[in-house]
Amino acid sequence: MNSPVRSFRAVGGEPFFARRAAGATLWDADGRPYIDYVCSWGALPLGHAHPRVEAALREAVGEGTSFGVPNPREVGLGERIRSAFPSIEKLRMTSSGTEACMTAIRLARGFTGREKILKFAGCYHGHSDSLLVKAGSGALTHGEPDSAGVPRAVAELTLVLPWNDPFAARELFAREGERIAAVILEPVPANAGLLPPRPGFLEEVRELCTEHEALLIFDEVITGFRLGMGGAQERFGIRPDLTILGKIVGGGLPAAALGGRAEILDRLAPDGDVYHAGTLSGNPLAMAAGLAQIEEMERTDAHKRLEQLGAFLESEIRMLLSRRGEKKVQVQRVSSLFCLFFTDRPVISLQEALESDRKRFARFFHSLLQQGIFFPPSPFETCFLSTAHSEQDLEKTVAAIARALEESQ
């Protein structure tokens, strides 16, 4: 497994390998189809193998796969991103969200002259050393590494708070505000299940950052272009200082971007003193695929369709739960993102997610897989809808959920 989240034991004892995909369907190496709610972990809001994206790739690959110098497609995608996100005045392309987040942290430290970073438990920002820390007991945890190989001295510069707790944030800033370079967060955390922000929480964090002259970094690798053309910051009306984009901007190919205020981005090399480089940054194939996907989303008003599909599926699942008298299943959704937690109350933090019934979720997941429905294999991931999903796909999924609920008891 080249990424840990892919590692699970499928029905029959081994994980399945994908052979091909089209629309909302994934076929494994044995030819078995699955209705796919992973969608390459959110990178494919139009579904697999979209004709316009494929056409853009065929044209681009005929001109060369990598140049090592600037190409017009990276400028085209950059301009499209900038027009959708008013907070982004300048941007830098990277090859992954992890790389973009790592660069954003270095840039924030270089710009502010401060060293400490604040993140929230349950928000995932890739696997760079500064961001692989977790929250322990209490409101504040200083530097507990989440992985072997992360130096404690690095981890100690990262502060972690519980998500959706404005009181803890205010208390921390009162003590540490002058030493915090940046706050990095997923505006809608989608790597611990789905944890929608409480009303006013994001606004509170924005105010604290402004008051203490710390940078606010929105990690919109998942939400960017998915919750609207302007991402979560458009949906919630909040302007961050820096934004991380990924997944959708590559159209299914490896690509991400870091953007924000011009005065901050100007500190990046070669003009500034904060170093970042990447041989494949702005790769012409990824730029072509990403631009084609984003333009198609705008042309077809894809966000309206995604919202309709999400609302329909949520309504159907809730009616099913009501008919069954299920009191220990929570449906959480924001637009085309959704998840199910096996617990008796809404989940608003990582700690509550950890307290859900993970063993029942595992039984639920495998029952769905047997029925040809592919959900993420962990309760700490999020399901993704695409415009390629049909109402018939969703109805079949709800029927499979009914059986999986029964079999997972």
Please tell me the distance from the alpha carbon of residue 256 to that of residue 220, in angstroms, as a whole number: 10
As annotated, the active-site residues are 124, 219, 247
When comparing pLDDT for 86 and 140, which is higher? 86
Residues of the chain above pLDDT 70, percent: 96
What pLDDT is recorded for position 10? 65
Residue 143: the pLDDT is: 46
Residues in the chain: 409
- Please say whether the beta carbons of 150 and 86 come within 8 A: no
pLDDT at position 45 over 70: yes
pLDDT at position 318 is: 98
Average pLDDT over residues 135-139: 32
Token digits of residue 325 = 């008298």
Answer yes or no: is pLDDT of 13 > 90: no
DSSP-derived secondary structure for 161-202:
EETT-HHHHHHHHHHHGGGEEEEEE-SS--SSS--PPPTTHH
Task: State pLDDT tens for residues 321-372.
Answer: 999 999 999 999 999 999 999 999 999 999 999 999 999 999 999 999 999 9
In single-letter form, the type of residue at position 83 comes to: S
As given in the structure block, the two tokens for residue 236 are: 């919630």
Q: What percent of the chain has pLDDT over 90?
A: 88
pLDDT digits (tens, 9 = 90+) for 226-248: 999 999 999 999 999 999 999 99
pLDDT in the model for residue 147: 75
Give the count of alpha carbons within 13 A of 195, CB side only. 30
CB 100 within 8 A of CB 311: no
Q: pLDDT grade, residue 136 (50/70/90)? A: very low
Which of the 8 DSSP states describes residue 4? G
- DSSP letters for 77-90: HHHHHHHH-TT-SE
Is the pLDDT confidence value at 275 over 90? yes
User: Any idea what DSSP says for residue 214?
Assistant: P
Q: pLDDT averaged over the chain? A: 94
Give the model's pLDDT for residue 193: 94
- H/E segment holding residue 310: helix 302-324
Task: Say which range, 132-136, 229-233, 385-389, has the weakest mean pLDDT.
Answer: 132-136
Domains of the chain: 4-50+301-407 (3.90.1150.10), 52-299 (3.40.640.10)
Q: Which residues pair with 383 in a beta bridge?
A: 338
Q: What is the model's pLDDT at position 11?
A: 59
pLDDT in tens, 278-314: 999 999 999 999 999 999 999 999 999 999 999 999 9
pLDDT of the residue at 14 = 73
